[in-house]
Amino acid sequence: MVARSLVKPMGRSVVPMPIGKPMAKKTKPATDKPAVAKKAKKAEPALAKMKANKAEPAVAAKPPAAVAPKAKPAGKPAAAKPKPTMSDYLYHRFMNLRLAEGQFVNMPTLGSIRTVKFQGFKKPDETWEMIRCKQAQLTPKLQVKTECNSPQGGEFTVDNPRRYKVFVRWSPAEKQPPLRSLRDYIKALQSGALMKEDHDALLAFIDHQRMELKKALTEEYNLVWSNDNLDVGILHFKIAFAGDDF
């Protein structure tokens, strides 16, 4: 027999634990979703937002749209500039030509201005009154003679180029040095004694005479006009077939 202890335990009595398996630790009841999962769920939207912010490139600001200019009201189209004429071309050449003292200038072919050694006119005594051609007032400043007859007394036929010579002089009211050659004519243009209108009128008249000769010819010819002016001391222009000796 086991003797009972004479000493009584103080306080609560200790219940002896049966010897066997150790006591299992108490655990919290399992939940449907673990705490880690909840934290992940909360973190997911923030993480996704951060990724989206990094992935999306910055959008450049668009420049303001250009404002289209107001259309002008429809009207007449701008007139095209007329092409320069032979008169314009020669006027420009004459106005920019440097004239040396005593220099003789002529134009043996149209547009070909040259200076020549001048030894005097072949007929220095020829006067305006001696020229057997019809006279006309071209401009207030200029008179012309054309539709000429032969100096020997005969008449030129309508198909003879010599009939269509054009002689030029100042009107009697103009107190100017005589127009004896192309040089004097160019000098008058450069000084302003003759105007562009006088020049245009003269060249238009010369070309009109060229066309009159062309009408009178029975065959087609290339007609040109020039200024030689070595025979008489009166400014004049000749019309002839291209290639002829003026």
Residue 13 resides in a domain: no
DSSP state letters, 175-202: ------SHHHHHHHHHHTSS-HHHHHHH
The pTM assigned to this predicted structure is 0.66
Residue 44 resides in a domain: no
Strand pairing of 166-170 and 236-241?
antiparallel
Residue 74 resides in a domain: no
Q: How many CA atoms lie within 13 A of 201 on its CB side?
A: 15
pLDDT top residue among 199 and 45: 199
Write out the residue range of the structural domain in which residue 223 sits. 86-241
Residue 210 resides in a domain: yes
pLDDT at res. 120: 86
Residue 150 resides in a domain: yes
Please tell me the total count of domains within the chain: 1
Name the H helices within the chain: 35-55, 86-95, 182-191, 196-216
Residue 220 resides in a domain: yes
Residue 117 resides in a domain: yes
The C-alpha torsion from 99 through 100 and 103 to 106, rounded to 10°, is: -20
Instruction: Please state, in angstroms and rounded to a whole number, the distance separating the CA atoms of residues 111 and 91.
Output: 10
Q: How far is CA 133 from CA 124, 198, 204, in A?
A: 18, 21, 19
Residue 221 resides in a domain: yes
138, 131, 129: which is closest to 163 by C-alpha?
Answer: 131
pLDDT digits (tens, 9 = 90+) for 111-153: 788 888 888 898 888 999 999 999 999 999 999 999 999 988 8
225, 201, 200: which is closest to 211 by C-alpha?
Answer: 225
Locate 113 and state its tokens.
């201005």
- Among the ranges given (39-48, 178-187, 216-225, 231-240), the one the predictor scored with the smallest mean pLDDT: 39-48
Using the predicted structure, report yes or no on whether residue 13 has a pLDDT greater than 60.
no
Q: Which amino acid is at 18?
A: P
